[in-house]
Amino acid sequence: MTDQPRADAPDAPAGLYGAPVAPPTRPLPLRQMGIGELVDGAFKLYRRDWLALMGITAFVLVPVTFLQAWLTQGVAAAAADPFADLDAVTGQIIAVTLVFVAIQLLIAQPFLLAAITKAAADAYLGERVSIGRTYRFALSKLPAILWITIITTVLTLLGFILLIIPGIIAVVRLALAPAILVVEDVRGTSAVGRSWNLTRRHAWRVLGTLFLAGLISTIGIAIITIPTEFIAALMGPDGWFISTVGQVLASVVTTPFSILIIVLLYFDLRVRKEGYDIEVMSQELAPSS
C-alpha cells in the first residue's frame, strides 16, 4: 500500500462557483509504522494542533482541579484551628475527596477521553481540530464511553487481583476500545471485543508503545511538577495554589499526547491487519462528527 491517491477515488466535492475543494492534507503517511515512528507521529500531530488539544483538556481539568484543591485547602486550614472538631474535619475532607473522585471518574475523564480521541482522529485524518465540534461529539458519546471505561476497568482490576500478568494483558488488549467507539461507532462490549481482536498477535508491540509513551509522559510531568512542588514547599500552606498550577499544567500537556499514541496505534493496526485506506476511515468517522 502506498500513500498515493487511488485511481478510483471519488472526485473532490465542489466548492463555491463549482470549484473543487481540495481534500484535507494528511499530516502523516498512510502506512505501517514502527514504535519510534508512532511516537514521532504523535509529536507531529501534537505540534500541528497543540493549542486546540490543550484547550480541550484545560477547559475540563482546570476548573475541576482548582475547585477541589481550594475546597480541600479550606477544610485543611480549618483543621489547624486548635478548637476544631477533628472528626468533623476528617469527614469533610473524605466527603470532598469522594465527590471529586466521582466527578473525575464518571464525568471529567470519560468526557476528556471521548473529546481528545475524537480530536486525535480528526488530526490523523487531516482535519483541523474544532473545540466546539469535539465537545458536542464528546457529550453525545459520554454514556457509551463511560460504559466502556467501567467494563475495561473492571476487567483490568480482576486481572490484577488474579495475577499481575492478566492485568497487564487486559490493559494492552483493551486499550483501543475508546478509539474504536469514536471512529467505528461500536459501543459497549462490542468495542471491547473489537479491541481484543484487533490487538491479537500485536500485544508486545502495543505494550512497548504504551510503555514508551508512559515513560515520556512521566518525564514531562516530572519536568513540570518538580519545580512547582519545590516552590510550593518553600511557601508552606500558601503554596497549594502553585502546587495545583503545576499539577494541572502537567495534565494538560501530557494527556493529549497519551491519547494520540493510542489513536495512532489503532489506525496503524487497521492498516496493518485490514488494509484500510484513509477514505474508508474518513467515511466511518464522518457520521459521528
pLDDT (average), residues 228-241: 89
Q: Is residue 28 part of a domain?
A: no
Which pLDDT tens digit goes with each residue over 33-51? 888 899 999 999 999 889 9
Contact 199, 173 (CB under 8 A): yes
Q: Is residue 154 part of a domain?
A: yes
Q: Is residue 105 part of a domain?
A: yes
Which pLDDT tens digit goes with each residue over 96-114? 788 888 888 888 888 888 8
Q: Which domain holds residue 218?
A: 34-288
Q: Is residue 17 part of a domain?
A: no
Residue among 64, 38, 52 at smallest CA distance from 130: 52
96 φ, ψ (degrees, to nearest 5): -60, -45
Note the pLDDT of residue 2.
38
Burial 184-193 (b: 16+ CB within 10 A, else e): bebbeeebbe
The pTM assigned to this predicted structure is 0.79
Reported as a pLDDT band with limits 50, 70 and 90, residue 11 is very low
Across the chain, mean pLDDT equals 81
Q: Is residue 230 part of a domain?
A: yes
pLDDT over 90 (residue 242)? yes
Which pLDDT tens digit goes with each residue over 126-174? 788 888 889 999 998 888 888 888 888 888 888 888 778 888 888 899 9
Q: Is residue 4 part of a domain?
A: no
Q: Is residue 6 part of a domain?
A: no
Which pLDDT tens digit goes with each residue over 12-32? 444 333 444 444 566 777 778
Q: Is residue 23 part of a domain?
A: no
Give the count of domains, the chain: 1
User: What cell does 276 get?
Assistant: 484500510
Note the pLDDT of residue 46.
92
Note the pLDDT of residue 6.
39
221 φ, ψ (degrees, to nearest 5): -60, -45
